[in-house]
Amino acid sequence: MGCGVSNSQDTDLQAMSHSEKTIKSALLIQRWFRSYQARMETRRRCTWSIFQSIEYSGEQDQHNLYNFFNDMLLTLGGNNKSKVYAESNKDDEDDELSEYVIDHSYDGPHPTFPLSHETMLDLIEAFKKKQVLHTKYVLKILKQMQELLKERPNISQATTAIAKQITVCGDLHGKIEDLFLIFYKNGIPSADNPYIFNGDFVDRGENSIEIAMLLFGFQIVYPNEVYINRGNHEDHIMNLRYGLIRELQVKYKSYTQVILKELAHVFGWLPIVTLIDKKILVCHGGVSDMTDLEYLSTIERQKYLSVLKPPLKDGSMPLEGIKEEDIGERIDLKEWRQVLDVLWSDPKPQPGCTPNKFRGGGCYFGPDVTKAILEKHNLKLLIRSHECKQNGYEYSHDGKVLTVFSASNYYEVGSNRGAYIKFGRDLKPHPVQYMYVASTSTRPLTARQNLSIIEESALRNVREKIIANKTVLLEAFKQSDPNDTGFITQTQWAKAMSEALQLDLPWLTIRSQLIKMNDDGCVEYVTCLQQEINFNGSRLNGPSFTEVIYRNKTALETIFRALDKDHSGCITMDEFSEGCKLLSQHLQTQMSDEVVSDMAKSLDINKDGQIDFNEFLEAFRLVDIQEKNLQKNQENLDKLKSHADLNQIANGDENQNSV
């Protein structure tokens, strides 16, 4: 019996030992997995920070340049002030559109008027097949939309009393596949399925005009069930930079200008705010400590064809840039702020209301501001968009603010989900997430592979910024390296990067991707400046031409499109001349007609009488080459002079003349 007991104890001990090993292994795996998840989350947040910082930096640049762009648009578009975008006359609509003949070569959709639910379904199917709607139909929908919006107040009143539900969508930014996915999951807009589209449905993506046609068409069919708020991108100044005008040029060629004018007028008439059952405030950006819905309801919103370009107090449009010290005297600052803040603002966790310097427009509003505005107007919740969120939506301010963003894969494929918000009669928000995935025969990527692709895309954006600012960065690095050792501390490097590029990024977290360090942990800062990326098939690493192009490429393209007033894709000699005159006024310099003519002929490399974008950029390359040649010649002269001085010292004055 003793042996039996001993054997039984040994077996129990072995079992306990095996169980302990299993538990320890499980704990080890769990600890490793949590560590892995933490590293992945750190990488995700870092990547997200890069994307958002660079996006908002671009919007800030647009604000900084808006005086020049406004002046250019107004001068090139004609000196007719607020009547640049002429209102349509309903009685003459058919006569106006008669010139747009639909010939036999057109293979797109043929919507029937008045528009119906069935017509809109046909339009959806046509857009799924990548068909382009004819100019005549586009203009007809835009003119009908204008007439509808003129009868609407600044603040729309939506209700759940009839349909027992309503859906709120955020930014779509030209991503029509997301709109199709929303309609598939949530249903087509109808009397029983009302929608609110909260602005920024254009720019950035490839199908802004198609989304506009669908949203406008559905509101025409269901004027009491479909609501569209204006966003900060429903603005013709923003459209110059962020893609809508480029899209129209590709699809509508010489008809771009007339479509753009009608679009800008519709954008100006879009309501600014929507209230759901008078309890939920829906607006694109947010609020500020100045927001007053009663005052906002009295504003003539159509005056603000561009929120970046406020009208003067007499109702006219400014022909010259407004100096900061003159803003209060020349425009109605209170009225402008009401519109600007609602379209451009962002929530922040800290209390108070401060200027949104990150974007360059609107404000940062804290939870105390949200509480005050909601209590003032007896509201329960603020629904806003304007910011891309990784999960498609995000609560803030103790659940009083809900951000919804409907464009999935916004920065890169897999970067974020899209979402929409469902409300029932109880007015409780129910977010619905999704992500558009293109059908492909390739094997799906793992989460780690997908994150690596997104991360590399973000780092490419950082490298572009570095290439565009090599000279500035080198000067900043050298200030921390007075002995010219070629090395600085990691903290000094991060500070220089932040100040020179004006980007608040986790530089120390991403340093291994951008720099090399010595054994002491110091940064060899020249390695930071040796970034290489592909640009138009060539590997570029600056600083000269590459630096000029990368620093100014978006501004150059915006200037080109502003000069190209008929949006044909080319600048005529007359358009270039008008642009130069404006630039001359802006810089307060004199430029004769002969000089302008010579410049235009020089830019017209192929001598076809007009300047395309490649020729426009080539001018900057040629100027840069001349600068480099001048610098090189100066360096050679300096070397010769130095060589002559040395010979003179070594051989005496007799060799001076020969040298």
Residue 401's pLDDT is what? 98
Average pLDDT, the chain: 80
Percent of the chain at pLDDT above 90? Answer: 45
Claim: this prediction has a pTM higher than 0.85: no
Give the pLDDT score at 88: 41
In the chain, the percentage of residues whose pLDDT exceeds 70 is 73
Residue 329: predicted pLDDT = 62
Question: Cα–Cα distance between 167 and 158 in angstroms, integer?
Answer: 11
Q: How confident is the model at residue 13 (pLDDT cuts 50, 70, 90)?
A: low
How far, in Å, CA of 312 to CA of 326, rounded?
A: 11
Coil vs helix vs strand at 298: coil
- Which pLDDT does position 66 carry in this prediction? 53
User: Worst-scoring range by mean pLDDT, 82-96, 181-195, 305-319, 484-498?
Assistant: 82-96
Give the CA count within 13 Å in the CB-facing half-sphere of 245. 27
Place of tokens 């209301």: 353
- Indicate left, alpha or beta for 531 from its phi (over 0: left) and psi (-120 to 50: alpha): beta
Of the pLDDT bands very low, low, confident and very high (cuts 50, 70, 90), residue 148 is: very high
Looking at the DSSP assignment, which residues form a beta bridge with residue 168? Answer: 196, 421
pLDDT on residue 133: 97
Over residues 18-37, the pLDDT tens digits come to: 677 778 778 788 888 787 77
pLDDT at 538: 44
User: Does residue 189 register a pLDDT over 60?
Assistant: yes
pLDDT at residue 61 in the model: 57
Rounded mean pLDDT of 206-214?
A: 97
What are 171's two structure tokens?
């930014």
DSSP secondary-structure letter at 171?
B
pLDDT digits (tens, 9 = 90+) for 470-506: 888 998 999 999 999 999 999 999 999 988 888 888 8
**What ranges make up the beta strands (E) of 170-258?**
195-197, 226-228
606: Cα separation from own chain's centroid: 34
State yes or no: pLDDT of 552 exceeds 70.
no
Over residues 454-470, the mean pLDDT reads 82
State the pLDDT at residue 299. 95
- b (16+ CB within 10 A) / e for 597-613: eeebeebbeeeeebbbe
Length of the chain: 659
Predicted confidence (pLDDT) per residue in 379-431, tens digit = 999 999 999 999 999 999 999 999 999 999 998 888 899 999 999 999 999 99
Q: What is the largest CA-CA distance in the chain?
A: 122
Q: Given 18, 110, 134, 233, which residue is catalytic? A: 233
User: Could you count the other beta carbons within 10 Å of the beta carbon of residue 594?
Assistant: 8
Residue 2: predicted pLDDT: 52
Query: Residue 227: its pLDDT value, please?
Result: 98
Residue 557's DSSP bridge partners are none
For position 37, what pLDDT does the model report? 74
Render pLDDT for 84-136 as a digit per residue (tens, 0 to 9): 333 344 445 666 777 788 888 999 999 999 999 999 999 999 999 999 999 99
pLDDT at residue 72 is higher than 70: no
| DSSP for 183-198, written as a single string | HHHH---BTTB-EEE-
> Can you give the pLDDT at residue 510?
87
Q: Are strands 226-228 and 353-355 parallel, antiparallel or unpaired?
A: unpaired
Find the Cα–Cα–Cα–Cα dihedral 458, 459, 465, 467, rounded to 10°: -150
The encoded tokens of residue 73 equal 């648009």
Separation of alpha carbons 491 and 512, rounded Å: 14
At residue 630 the predicted structure's pLDDT band, cuts being 50, 70 and 90, is low
Helix (H), strand (E) at residue 524: strand 523-524
**What's the pLDDT score for residue 257?**
87
> ∠ at Cα 32 (31, 36), nearest 5°?
120
605 vs 608: CA distance, rounded Å? 8
Does 654 score more than 70 pLDDT? Answer: no
CA Rg value for the chain:
30
Which pLDDT score, from 0 to 100, does residue 219 have?
98
Contact between 400 and 382 (Cβ < 8 Å) = yes
233 in active site: yes
Residue with tokens 């060589």: 643
Mean pLDDT score, 238-247: 87
Q: Which secondary-structure segment (H or E) carries 215?
A: helix 208-221
Read off the pLDDT band of 225 (50, 70, 90): very high
CB count in 10 Å sphere of residue 622: 14
Burial class (CB in 10 A: 0-12, 13-18, 19+), 271: buried
Do 210 and 133 touch, CB atoms closer than 8 A? yes
What's the token pair of residue 593? 């007609």
DSSP state of 175: -
More confident residue, 298 or 597: 298
Do you find a cis peptide bond into 349, omega within 30 degrees of 0? no
Nearest to 76 by CA among 602, 561, 555, 599: 561
Nearest to 603 by CA among 623, 586, 587, 584: 623
Provide the total of helices (H) and of strands (E) in the chain, helices listed first.
Answer: 22, 21
Segment 52-58 shows an average pLDDT of 70
pLDDT at residue 468, as a whole number: 75
Q: 93-99: which pairs have CB atoms within 8 A and are 24 or more residues apart?
A: 93/140, 93/143, 96/139, 96/143, 97/136, 97/139, 97/140
- How far apart, in whole angstroms, are the C-alpha atoms of residue 161 and residue 194? 11
> Who wins on pLDDT, 234 or 68?
234
DSSP-derived letter for residue 321 is P
pLDDT the model gives residue 442: 58
434's enclosing H/E stretch is: strand 429-434
Give the model confidence (pLDDT) of 256-266 as tens digits.
989 999 999 99
Query: What does the pLDDT read at residue 33?
Result: 75
Residue 86's pLDDT is: 34
pLDDT at residue 509 greater than cutoff 90: no
Q: CA–CA separation, 25 vs 90, rounded Å?
A: 77
